[in-house]
A and B are shown apart, each in its own frame.
Chain A
Amino acid sequence: MERSRRSFLKILGISTLGLGTLSSVDLLAKAEMGKAEYSPDPKGMTGKRWALVVDVKKLDEETTQKAIEACHLIHNVPDYGDEDNEEIKWIWTDKYEHAFPGTEHAYLAEEIEEKPFLLLCNHCANPPCVRVCPTQATWQRGDGVVMMDQHRCIGCRYCMAACPFGARSFNWKDPRTTYFKDKEPPNPKYPTRTKGVVEKCNLCAERLAVGEMPACVEAVKDSKAIVFGDLEDPHSEVREVLHEHFAIRRKPELGTNPNVYYIV
């Protein structure tokens, strides 16, 4: 080699610059497109703080099953049973002592003791799960819904550690190759999830967007076991119901400000 190292590096630098300019000119010459716009569906429900009020007296095996099935079917939630505690559940039932641990005592009214309480994500106004998510894969919307973006979730499960209500489930395995291997996902209009991401109740955001009630509310609308509405609207059904009946929330002392109320 006659040339010095210096001139070699000079030539390398200039050619890189040249190639770089070439490719950026290429980029500019891409197919042009005019301005496109995105907007929310005008039919969509708007609110400032969505909440659910569950009338516990109206809950029984049949009603709760209707609500759970409605949700799990339209969201293609796989039913793994509970053998290895890898179940995925967006809404489920449990007894009082597990729904409100620490408040139970030895002399609970029998009706309350045996009742199947419907449990789900509380869409807290001060959600610790949102606080801890490192990628904003879960975040709080302006209308109060705590959303999940399964495209962004890295599966760190910090949100699962943070949630004081055990509302979140992780996809330890791939639902398509396990639960849905030989059966079709029940709702072809909604995706499934894949392994490695967290999921939970999303307050039927996709239904709210087109002006429909959450599926669980719709499923039990005859009995009004669950009432849905905007807490910040003083004339909403939830406000009326809360005005007339004493209601409690799960673990209020933790300050997460849950938006699911239980009329006991």
Chain B
Amino acid sequence: MYNKGKIVTGLVIFVVFFTSPFLYGLVKSGPPPAPELTAKAKQAKQCVEAKAYMVESHMQMLNDWRDEAVRNGNRIYVATTGKQYTVSLQNTCMDCHSNKSKFCDQCHNYAEVNPYCWECHIEPKEKL
């Protein structure tokens, strides 16, 4: 290999730089997220859909809700359980999960995602 020294050094620097977020996470990460349910949420036994589905796909579902409600005028969601819900993040989802900082933010902060929904949709007031 020509310039073996420079290339290998460069490669090492690159790999370290490229994996630095993961290395940083190894050192710095806190406990896994622990979202808390409100009393109302616990009473409901199940969210709009099953927990596994919600955890994986609530983002997609909210996108679908957004388009169905705003663009198609369909504001009623008939879940796979047969139950009906009003299609609204602010008035349905946040009605049960009214503790955004202890629920939604738990996973979002951990995963460093910043959904901008709440730039417009008003989050319920929390008693701190």
- List A residues at the B interface (Cβ < 8 Å): 1, 30-31, 33-41, 44, 76, 139, 141, 147, 149-151, 174, 176, 185, 188-194, 205, 209-210
Contact = CB atoms under 8 A, between A and B. Distances in A.
Contacts of B74: 38-40
Nearest to B94: A188
A40 B70 contact: no
B49 A209 contact: no
Interface of B: 1, 49-50, 52-53, 56-57, 64, 66, 68, 70-80, 87, 90-91, 116, 119-122, 124
B52 A38 contact: no
Given A188-B122, A191-B120, A36 B78 contact: yes
Contact of B53 (A33, A40, A174, A191): A33
B70 A151 contact: yes
B122 A185 contact: yes
Contacts, number: 75
Q: Which 5 A-B pairs have the closest CB atoms?
A: A38-B74, A34-B80, A194-B119, A191-B120, A37-B78
Given A33-B80, A36-B78, A38-B72, A192 B53 contact: no
16 contacts: A31-B56, A33-B57, A33-B80, A36-B80, A38-B64, A38-B72, A38-B76, A39-B74, A40-B75, A40-B76, A147-B70, A151-B66, A174-B119, A185-B122, A189-B91, A209-B75
Nearest to B77: A38
Contacts of B80: 33-36
A80 B73 CA distance: 31
A34 B48 CA distance: 13
A99 B78 CA distance: 45
Contact of A189 (B75, B78, B90): B90
Contacts of A1: 1
Nearest to A193: B120
B55 to A, nearest CB: 8
A47 to B, nearest CB: 12
Contacts of B1: 1
Given A30-B56, A36-B49, A41 B75 contact: yes
Contacts of B116: 194
A194 B124 CA distance: 17
A41 B87 CA distance: 10
Given A31-B56, A209-B73, A191 B90 contact: yes
A40 B86 CA distance: 10
B50 A31 contact: yes
A34 B50 CA distance: 11
Contact of A194 (B53, B76, B120): B120
A61 B4 CA distance: 84
A38 B18 CA distance: 44
Given A36-B49, A36-B77, A38-B76, 4 more contacts: A38-B64, A76-B122, A193-B120, A205-B73
Contacts of A147: 70-71
Contacts of B66: 151
Contacts of A33: 49-50, 53, 57, 80
A38 B68 contact: yes
A44 B78 CA distance: 17
A247 B121 CA distance: 39
Contact of A191 (B49, B76, B79, B121): B121
A150 B75 CA distance: 17
Nearest to B121: A191
